[in-house]
Chain A
Amino acid sequence: MQLTVWTYEGPPHVGAMRVATAMEGVHYVLHAPQGDTYADLLFTMIERRDKRPPVTYTTFEARDLGKDTAELFQATLIAAHERFKPQAMLVGSSCTAELIQDDPGGLARATDLPIPVIPLELPSYQRKENWGAAETFYQIVRTLAGSPRGKAMADRADRDRRPLCNLLGPTALGFRHRDDVAEITKLLGEIGVDVGVVAPLGAAPDDIARLGDADFNVVLYPEIAGVAAKWLKRTFGQDFTTTVPIGVGATRDFIAEVGRLAGGAVTDAAGRISPSNLPWFSRSVDSNYLTGKRVFVFGDATHALAAARVATEEFGFTLCGLGTYSREFARDMRAAAAQHGLEAVISDDYLDVEASIAEAQPELVLGTQMERHIAKRLGIACAVISAPVHVQDYPARYSPQMGFEGANVLWDSWVHPLVMGLEEHLLGMFRDDFEFHDGARPSHLGAGARVEPAPEMAVRASESSSAVTAVAEAAAPIALGWGSDAEEELRKIPFFVRGKARRNTEQFALERGLAEITVETLYDAKAHFSR
């Protein structure tokens, strides 16, 4: 049993719902108890969808368990088919139905519906939401993808035909999936590549049958489309992209990769692609203050890996932490972290992540809604880069993460939470100014104080992690060994590095056997550690 308060991912059937809801003409019959219908509100409230998800739940109750829940499943399936007239159906169990072992796949076969019915085996007690989405999409592709006509078409194609690709991976309830699809479709058009099918988002079963027409596949979200893309490669011989075009550099790499997959048919893009403002903004002199800012990155593997690259190569930040809750991508994440001299945080326990953030003492957190809350408690700036999502992560404006416009969005949303350069200097110089104190928020974010860590934080911290304790203590009165002058001086150091300065100074004093820490010791230590 895992004790948890918040989860990064829902159960795997929610992943299946994300795929079903993204598609047209597909209906999902879920064997599930009353109450599992809560998942509808993820789509209707968080994503503000104007339609109910295409999901029918059997909603069995205790009294049904003694009777025939299998019959209930079949009746529900038949009624849903009649009412919604889908072109294909998905059937499966939620966690509770998995325990009663009714075998929705077998029951569906027995009802002999005149459309494809795809059974989903999603082990709720082992797997999670993204795995469920990937497995569902894979099963849909396997069942409905038809035959590989693409090669045949390509063979007899006239030389002027533009290369054709599919975009794979976007789902309902994704982090900016809709806008990423628009941006990448536009980008591909500008480099002379046509998009055949986008799936699952907006695809009908007929569209899935056309997947084989394309020359290659673009995998936007490997967590969701990776398995299906590998199957399409094995079965239809379609190559797929491995670069996720988040950030300027990755988008350039992506264009180059698409060029290779399209057999060099990509037209010279120089004049047509609208470039990003990010490179110039980042080189403009006022961005100097961003240099070396300590950034902690956590999210799903796709977005966290991309953010790590963008943060370091395109913003000039220093990575002080990197991790993911996507255990399936732990190896990639560990390799990326190692490049920055870090050990990756692979965890789906937000308390562990909180402890890691507190220990790393970043100046900016790029994370999920979970990390946004953690950062708020710790008084650290934060931008959201990945699911799990909140209604705020569905902005009204066009706001992709991918492509060159996506890089503009990253620039704006990552810089915005920070204190601006000049303001930061003034904060450092006039630390005791009553309006410019530690607790003040960046002035462009309006009035109000930083949220102080809640008092219960200290209680939790003492048991949950020594790292959090260190931060809690950094704000607390200074312990023995510190002279009052040194203590006063320590307070003048920005709060986000104060804990580290304190630890370094104490270690320095300890190593030299100093009984008391003075202002001199503090600056000796600073000089020692800055070498």
Chain B
Amino acid sequence: MTPPFAGEGAAVPVAGCRERPVMRERGQREVFCGLTGIVWLHRKIQDAFFLVIGSRTCAHLMQSAAGVMIFAEPRFATAVMEERDLAGLADANDELDAAVARLLERRPDIKMLFLVGSCPSEVIKLDLSRAAARLSDRHAPAVRILSYSGSGIETTFTQGEDRCLAALVPELPRVDNAPPQLLIVGALADVVEDQFARLFAAMGLDTVCFLPPRRAGDLPAVGPNTRFLLAQPFLADAAKALEARGAAHIAAPFPLGAEGTTLWLKAAAQAFGVDPMCFRAATAAPEARAKRALAPLEASLAGRRVFFFPDSQLEIPLARMLSRELGARLVEVGTPYLHRQHLAEELALLPEGTVLSEGQDVDRQLDRVRAAAPDITVCGLGLANPLEAEGLTTKWSIELLFTPIQGYEQAGDLAALFARPLDRQTRLRV
């Protein structure tokens, strides 16, 4: 990092070891594919539409992952490939063009369309980036058409958002001689985004931009003076794409819990040379409020043994927050993929000796969780009820994606998500 952006990483207490041993596993993975990210992305970018080019399985996944079907016509759909589409690629492209034309005619409100690749479209090598370019020519300027892959053979769950944001980066307008600009990367609940914007404004950073934007037309500009802060731990490709545009990454832990939020904000503040007094003035009150909200939950979570199955890549920041702010003990922290560089500040904060696992062999992991009998098991929907039936208390991990959990005001809510299953156990007498 070059001046005037001083002190990258200096916000992080140097504790623990960054070169922790990691158990790498290979076997059946009980995780969603990247298509699932569409479930929140289509709500985040309000005039964007996500068209999956896939199979009936993809459509069925979207329907099932959305849990209850969102019948207020969702802004996603699947172009289901059929036998005849597989016969010849030229045919598949014509079919795709027709499907897009039909869709855009039906939904004139759409300003940005993502063609989302799936396992079958990747395997037959349907070139969606070329299709997007061709269709963009046809439908410009009314609709911008982009593509990314959310296929299970390339992406795990939240990596779908990463690919989507990476696909947006080349579309961002270029700025060269602008003053230093802070960009927050990663989909956040609108309420959380507004809270962060207010906190940054209170520190004097009042031109903070967010990616993804709420509207397709509001893409933030990027250039060599852009410094970006990741709001989510799963944005490897998006970060790389931003760096290729000259933007610089501000290393930080992630804004989960009171401590995490402060460290995250502080990393930005230091990079922008915010006066420490000004930083404290902006954050002291909400940080204290977050700690007050966490205090009553500490009683139910302190000393509890927590086991994380790999799911969203949020596991390591969550484990850090549970152990440092609520006194929970970590049995195993599984993550589908460990980005050592983006997670460096988080890993440093984890207790010595925390068992980390990357990838998954679900049957072996189930053997371990049964042997360990933790107090809370954080896992996906396919595993939760069977484990409950075996007497383990679980927390569905998908709720951690569909609930605002980042920032000071949500710290208590986040802790409550873990405390609730335990509370339930103490109430039930049946």
Contacts and interface: CB of A to CB of B under 8 A. Distances in A.
Interface stretch (B100-108, B317-325, B419-427): B100-108
Interface residues of B, number: 69
Contact of A96 (B31, B76, B92, B120): B120
A96 B119 contact: yes
Contact of B386 (A1, A3, A51): A51
Contact of B120 (A79, A95, A373): A95
A465 to B, nearest CB: 11
B339 interface: no
Given A100-B123, A125-B82, A41 B57 contact: no
A349 to B, nearest CB: 11
Contacts of B55: 11, 95-96, 124-125
A369 B55 CA distance: 22
Interface stretch (B135-143, B149-157, B209-217, B246-254): B149-157
Contact of B383 (A39, A44, A94, A124): A44
Nearest to A46: B64
A44 B64 contact: no
B83 A125 contact: yes
A62 to B, nearest CB: 4
Contacts of A65: 123, 153
A34 B73 contact: no
A81 B80 CA distance: 34
Contacts of A58: 28
B119 A35 contact: yes
A39 B363 CA distance: 17
A460 B96 CA distance: 20
A62 B154 contact: yes
Contacts of A460: 73, 106-107
B59 A7 contact: yes
A94 B123 contact: no
A326 B199 CA distance: 56
A2 B80 contact: yes
A126 interface: yes
Interface in B78-109: 78-83, 85-86, 92, 95-96, 98-99, 102-103, 105-109
A390 B66 CA distance: 12
A103 interface: no
B381 interface: yes
A44 B69 contact: no
B259 interface: no
A450 to B, nearest CB: 15
A464 interface: yes
In this complex, the member of A4, A94, A376 whose beta carbon has the largest number of chain B beta carbons within 10 angstroms is A4
Contacts of B31: 34-35, 37
Contacts of A376: 71
Contact of B80 (A4, A51, A459): A4
A6 B68 CA distance: 12
A10 B33 CA distance: 17
Interface residues of A, number: 64
A3 B77 contact: yes
Nearest to B74: A5
A181 B63 CA distance: 29
Given A50-B385, A376-B71, A459-B108, A33 B119 contact: yes
A422 interface: no
Given A3-B103, A95-B55, A35 B61 contact: yes
A124 B57 contact: yes
A373 B72 CA distance: 9
Contacts of B99: 1, 3
Contacts of B103: 3
A34 B156 contact: yes
A59 B28 contact: yes
A33 B73 contact: no
Contacts, number: 200
Contact of B152 (A4, A7, A36, A39): A36
Contact of A1 (B63, B96, B106): B96
A463 interface: yes
A11 B381 contact: no
Nearest to B103: A3
A128 B80 CA distance: 12
Nearest to B98: A1
Interface string A121-147: 001111010000000000000000000
A48 interface: yes
Contact of B381 (A41, A57, A369): A41
A419 B108 CA distance: 38
Contacts of B355: none
Contact of A38 (B65, B85, B151): B65
In this complex, the member of B53, B122, B386 whose beta carbon has the largest number of chain A beta carbons within 10 angstroms is B386
A48 B76 CA distance: 27
Contacts of A128: 56
Contacts of B24: none
Given A34-B153, A44-B385, A7 B79 contact: no
A156 interface: no
Interface in B120-165: 120, 122-124, 151-154, 156
B383 A99 contact: no
A95 B65 CA distance: 18
Contacts of A45: 67, 381-382, 384-385
A306 to B, nearest CB: 25
B106 A6 contact: no
Interface string B44-67: 000000000101110111011101
B105 to A, nearest CB: 6
A373 B69 contact: yes
Contacts of A46: 64
A40 B33 contact: no
A12 B76 CA distance: 23
B408 interface: no
B255 interface: no
B382 A44 contact: yes
B418 interface: no
Interface string A1-40: 1111111011101100000000000000000011111111
A52 B119 CA distance: 24
B315 interface: no
A1 B33 contact: no
A7 B56 contact: yes
Interface string A362-383: 0000000110010011000000
A6 B116 CA distance: 17
B28 A57 contact: yes
In this complex, the member of A41, A45, A50, A126 whose beta carbon has the largest number of chain B beta carbons within 10 angstroms is A41
Contacts of A64: 153
A49 interface: yes
B56 A11 contact: yes
B82 A1 contact: yes
Interface string A61-105: 110110000000000100100010000000000111001100000
A124 B72 CA distance: 29
A83 B363 contact: yes
Contacts of A42: 64
B73 A5 contact: yes
26 contacts: A1-B95, A2-B79, A3-B80, A3-B102, A4-B59, A5-B73, A7-B63, A35-B35, A36-B57, A40-B381, A50-B389, A51-B386, A52-B386, A59-B29, A62-B154, A65-B123, A83-B363, A96-B55, A96-B119, A125-B86, A126-B83, A373-B69, A376-B71, A454-B73, A456-B72, A459-B108
Given A41-B380, A456-B72, 10 more contacts: A1-B79, A1-B81, A1-B82, A34-B153, A79-B27, A95-B55, A96-B120, A99-B86, A125-B55, A459-B109
Interface of B: 27-36, 53, 55-57, 59-61, 63-65, 67-69, 71-74, 76-83, 85-86, 92, 95-96, 98-99, 102-103, 105-109, 119-120, 122-124, 151-154, 156, 363, 380-386, 388-389
Sorted nearest first, the 6 A-B pairs with minimum C-beta distance are A35-B33, A35-B152, A40-B382, A50-B389, A96-B119, A95-B55
